[in-house]
């Protein structure tokens, strides 16, 4: 089963039905022809940013954010970045104090093949490119990803 199609169906069901929890959603998915394990559904919830919230009537309901979770993270991480600079061998990202770990982790999760890895301090992220020959394009890619000038 295609993960993107499954997640699209999950989002559709959550948006269009008063779904109170995972068990109810599993039944709806099954009725729609999607056989999903509870563990898979939990991972999909994390990917999609789906939360269980209380309604005004005191009942529970699953809700999905307006924007995909990755876009929300990108915006938040972008606000934490002060600058992106490079020399011939590495890229340095300056962040707000205490925010480097989150920025480095975000870049690692992108699994960009041009980035070998990151090392984060308190307000600085060292980005190690896979090849120093492409350092300029890696820097540009990071700037675009983080919406930095």
**What is the CATH class of 69-145?**
alpha beta
**Predicted pLDDT at 52:** 84
CA distance 91 to 136: 9
The number of beta carbons lying within 10 Å of the beta carbon of residue 14 is 20
Question: Which residues have CB under 8 Å from 5's CB, separation 6+?
Answer: none
Cα angle at 11 between 147 and 7, to 5 degrees?
A: 80
Beta bridge partners of 52: 62
Per-domain residue ranges for the chain?
3-63, 69-145
pLDDT digits (tens, 9 = 90+) for 93-125: 999 999 899 899 889 888 889 999 999 999 999
CATH topology of domain 3-63: Arc Repressor Mutant, subunit A (1.10.10)
**pLDDT of the residue at 59:** 85
Share the mean pLDDT of the chain.
88
Q: How far is 11 from 25, CA to CA, in rounded Å?
A: 10
The reported pLDDT for the residue numbered 148 is 53
């Amino acid at each position: 089963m295609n993960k993107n199609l499954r997640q699209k169906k999950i989002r559709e069901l959550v948006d269009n039905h008063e779904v109170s929890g995972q068990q109810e959603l599993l039944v709806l998915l099954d009725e729609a022809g999607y056989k999903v394990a509870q563990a898979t559904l939990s991972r999909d919830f994390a990917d999609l940013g789906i939360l269980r919230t209380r309604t005004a009537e005191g009942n529970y309901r699953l809700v999905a954010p307006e924007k995909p979770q990755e876009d929300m993270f990108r915006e938040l991480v972008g606000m934490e970045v002060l600058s992106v600079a490079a020399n011939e061998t590495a890229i340095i990202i300056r962040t707000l104090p205490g925010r480097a770990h989150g920025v480095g982790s975000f870049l690692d999760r992108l699994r960009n093949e041009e980035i070998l890895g990151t090392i984060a301090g308190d307000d600085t992220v060292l980005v190690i490119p896979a090849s120093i020959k492409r350092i300029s394009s890696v820097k540009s890619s990071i700037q675009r990803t983080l919406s930095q000038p």
